[in-house]
Structure 1
Amino acid sequence: MASKLIEECTEFDLDALRDDPVGALTDCEPVKLVFEEDLPSGGCGGGGYYRPDPPTIHLHPAIGRRDNFTVLHELGHHLQQGHPEWAFVLLELPVERRRPIEESVSNHFAAQVLMPITDRDREDASVHPADFMAGFYSRVNASRSATLIRAREILPAGSRWILVVAELDGTVIASSSTYADLPPAKGFRQEGFARVALEALDRPVRQFFSEGLEYRTGSVLDDLYIEAALDVSGQYVFIALRPTSMNGQGTITYPSHECADEGCGEVFVSRQSTGKCDECGSFRCPECHKCACMTTSRPTTVCGQCRTMYSRAEMQTGNHECF
């Protein structure tokens, strides 16, 4: 349905929307764009919503490119509700079915307008996803996380890739998987990603991933191949991992750790620990409950726009992009 909305769209200039979605909808007659500086209770920056009477897109501005996808998503709602046939199809559906379908169509509409895909793009993504994401991000007006999602969508059926956007210190910004192995958690720092990010400063990385992918539980996903490519800003790295094992999945292991307190000396596996210390990154000993820095405190800074916590790298550099 998203493709049909694009084909039949006559009241908006799609090329202008692709180049500058917010600018193209500012002072636009068919639908009004309103910038909401005051966040609703419990809300966060970088979001929006559509009201049909009068047709209005309400935008809570974010930093970076996130607004571009948001306004196009809400425009998708406007076009769906004004379509002479599709609007009646939606009205006949139960609310619990109508909402997810309408949201999905709006997402696809925004993605197809903002990030059009060619046959060459599909071929490039299937061969080297990290290189594709880095190059694709440099020529579209979408955020890094939206670029990752678009890359996942166009990978061939049956592909086994874990896609990641990370900071140069290895902190995960966004991630997704096309198969059963879970992607790394957002905000969780990966030592291996920091290493490949450093190598990617000089050249694209394509190699066996010796460190493995670490989860919050302490388990590690091994037997992975990794690709990494720096984004156009030089501040983030696009990463793609795939399993090298015969069964098409990585291998889960639980590494051993020694208590950081020499007076304790306990040796334990990560799943026995009560968790990692946010400050020093070491697992707490299940015997004495100590970590390397003997504290679990960590200063936090929250973005005033999107209400998300700054990562350690962002606090050091002062650079933050809302996703």
Structure 2
Amino acid sequence: MYDGDVEPARITIRESRNYKRNLFTALHEVGHHIFWNDEAWQFQVLPELGDKARLIEEKIVNDFAASILVPEDAVALHLGEGVSPEGIQALIQGTQASATTCCIRALNQPGQRLVILASEDGKIWYADSNGTPYNPGRRVAQPALISAIERARESGKYRLMGGEGIRYSKGWADTDVCLDVLLHDGLVIAVATSTRPSLRGSASTGWHEVCEACGAEFAASASSGQCTTCGDWKCSDCRGCQCTASKAVYCRRCFLVLPTTEASKGMTVHEECD
């Protein structure tokens, strides 16, 4: 946590057992310190960004920390020919950066992709995208990812073309994808790229959704319809969607957005990060 209101400014870190995570956290907060003391950023740029200001600053300081922990020569060596799970794995093994940090670095490479870190049972811990395929978030189950993981158990890696694609909470799936999966020390590193970015297939709305507003689980088929503003299926219990959810709260450990159900309880750290 960064506190610029004291003299001198103070950075407080809740130490993790993961040494690499501690390094990232410290550098992330240094990034906030730099912005805090940048008058142009504080008084000219931030007011223009409006509600997106915090999200943008978080992304920039994440990139700042990642760029220090993963040097350019390592990026050129392992990702210079293209981003792959094997390249991300090599960065994890050859630098002082955590798996999440290496994924952030991979997203800054040319081209569009979705990068996912998950457990071997398919639970997503981290997901982010710099274009297509879009980021589905961590709460939507991904059958294609689970299928690819199962097929990767024999050789340690697998490439899945198409299939059920990447599912989204708005009730559709991008089926024009290539999903590369690699098993690494209990983690799953996945990189998804679009095969035909301009075309997408609609998926059945028969699976269950989790309401961003109240946290209730409901069948998409039971929804009264999609919100015309955010596109989410309206909750069958509270009729809520992302529009009724509170403003984003960022985890103080991993700096990713907390689900509304956790933020509404006053939590500031993901359950799995605590």
TM-score bracket for this pair, using the shorter chain length? 0.5 to 0.7
- Which amino acid letter does the alignment assign opposite residue 170 of structure 2? T
Q: Name the structure 1 match of 2:11.
A: 57
Tell me, yes or no, if the aligned pair for 1:73 and 1:107 is still in contact at 8 Å. yes
1:209-237 deviations in Å (ceiling 9; x for gaps): 31211112332211211111112x2x221
2:129 aligned residue (177, 187, 190)? 177
Shift of 1:285: 5.1
Q: Name the structure 2 match of 1:254.
A: 203
1:130 aligned residue (77, 85, 96)? 85
Tell me, yes or no, if the aligned pair for 2:148 and 2:159 is still in contact at 8 Å. no
Q: Distance in 2 between matches of 1:94 and 1:301?
A: 30
User: Does residue 166 of structure 2 align to residue 209 of structure 1?
Assistant: no
Matches within 5 A, 1:18-167: 48-51=1-4, 53-64=7-18, 65-77=20-32, 90-92=38-40, 94-95=42-43, 97=45, 106-118=61-73, 119-124=76-81, 126=82, 128-153=83-108, 155-156=109-110, 159-167=111-119
Q: Distance in 2 between matches of 1:244 and 1:213?
A: 12
SS in 2 for 1:253: coil
1:186 aligned residue (125, 132, 138)? 138
Length-normalised TM-score, structure 1? 0.56
Length-normalised TM-score, structure 2? 0.65
User: Does residue 255 of structure 2 align to residue 307 of structure 1?
Assistant: no
1:259-295 deviations in Å (ceiling 9; x for gaps): xxxxxxxxxx44xx8x4379xx9946539xxxxxxxx
SS in 1 for 2:164: coil
Unaligned runs of 5+ in 2: 48-52, 212-216, 224-236, 238-260
Q: Distance in 2 between matches of 1:91 and 1:227?
A: 43
Q: Distance in 2 between matches of 1:161 and 1:78?
A: 30
- Which amino acid letter does the alignment assign opposite residue 69 of structure 1? F
- Aligned in 2, Cα 1:210/1:135: closer, same or farther, shift over 3 Å? same
SS in 2 for 1:60: coil
User: Does residue 209 of structure 2 align to residue 276 of structure 1?
Assistant: yes
Tell me, yes or no, if the aligned pair for 1:131 and 1:204 is still in contact at 8 Å. no
Shift of 1:80: 7.1
Q: Name the structure 2 match of 1:37.
A: none
Q: Distance in 2 between matches of 1:170 and 1:147?
A: 20
Shift of 1:152: 0.4
1:81-137 deviations in Å (ceiling 9; x for gaps): 7xxxxx6xx23555362696976664444222211122223314x1x4222112212
Shift of 1:198: 2.4
User: Does residue 177 of structure 2 align to residue 228 of structure 1?
Assistant: no
SS in 1 for 2:160: strand
SS in 1 for 2:22: helix
Shift of 1:56: 2.9
1:9-59 deviations in Å (ceiling 9; x for gaps): xxxxxxxxxxxxxxxxxxxxxxxxxxxxxxxxxxxxxxx214462243211
* Structure with more relative contact order (C-alpha pairs < 8 Å, separation 6 or more): 1
Shift of 1:151: 0.5
Stretch deviating more after TM superposition (94-103 or 202-211): 94-103
- Aligned in 2, Cα 1:239/1:92: closer, same or farther, shift over 3 Å? closer
Q: Distance in 2 between matches of 1:91 and 1:284?
A: 47
Tell me, yes or no, if the aligned pair for 1:243 and 1:250 is still in contact at 8 Å. no
Unaligned runs of 5+ in 1: 1-47, 82-86, 256-268, 288-295, 311-321
Tell me, yes or no, if the aligned pair for 1:166 and 1:193 is still in contact at 8 Å. no
